[in-house]
Amino acid sequence: MKTMGRGTRGKGQGRKYIEAKAKKIKILVLDVDGVMTDGSIILDNEGNELKRFHVRDGHGIKMLGKAGIKTCIITGRKSKVVEIRAGELGITDVYQKIFKKSVVYEELMRKYDCTDENVAFMGDDIVDVELLKRAGISAVPLDADDEAKKYASLVMKKSGGRGAVREFTDLILKASGLWKKVSGEFLG
C-alpha cells in the first residue's frame, strides 16, 4: 500500500497517522464495481448480470464484523448479485442505484452515531471523490481511476476484486490493534 497525500490529511504521514485513524473506525463503507469486483460487468444472453467477488475480501469483511466494525455498501448500479453477496457476508446496509453517495453516507453516520473520523471508505472512481475526501481513512485499489487516487489516504497494492478490500480490512484491524482478537482462532 502507498500512503497518498491530501493536503494536511495524509501528506508525509506514515504508520502512526494510519494507526491513530484506524483506532477510531466504526464503519467501513464500500463501493462495489471496481472495489469488491474487478469492475467488469458481464451480461449473458438473457440479460443476467454476473460479477466476480474475491473470497478473501469477503473473509476480511467477516473479520471486521467480529471486531465490531460494521460494513456498508453504497453503489451506483443495482444488481441482484450484490444483494446475494451482501447477504452472504452479513452486510445489512446495502444501498444500490445511488447517484449522490454523500446523502446515504450522511444517513449511515446518523444511524451509527459516527463522524467522518469514524468511517473508512473504499471507492475507485471520480463518483467516489467526495467520500474519499471526507472519510477518516480512505483507500482505492491499485487499478483505481487516477483522479480518485489523488484524494485517497491509501492506494492498495492489490486491484479491485483481487484482494484490495482484504488488504484494507487487514490494515484497519492491524493498525487499530484488533488483529489478534479476530485472527487468534485461525493463527492460534
What does the alpha-carbon distance between residue 100 and residue 111 come to, in Å, rounded to a whole number? 18
Query: What DSSP designation does 70 have?
Result: E
Range of the domain at 156: 2-10+21-176
Judge whether 186 lies within some domain.
Answer: no
> 16: helix, coil or strand?
helix
Total-model pTM:
0.91
Distance in angstroms (rounded) separating the CA atoms of residues 155 and 16 = 17
Cell 448480470 belongs to residue: 49
Query: Does residue 99 lie in a domain region?
Result: yes
Asked if residue 106 is part of any domain, the answer here is yes
Per-residue confidence in pLDDT tens, the chain, 188 aa: 555 444 333 444 577 888 899 999 999 999 999 999 999 989 999 999 999 999 999 999 999 999 999 999 999 999 999 999 999 999 999 999 999 999 999 999 999 999 999 999 999 999 999 999 999 999 999 999 999 999 999 999 999 999 999 999 999 999 999 999 998 877 76
**CB atoms inside a 10 Å sphere around CB 44:** 8
How many domains does the structure of the chain reveal?
A: 1
Kindly state whether residue 138 falls inside one of the protein's structural domains: yes
CATH code, 35: 3.40.50.1000
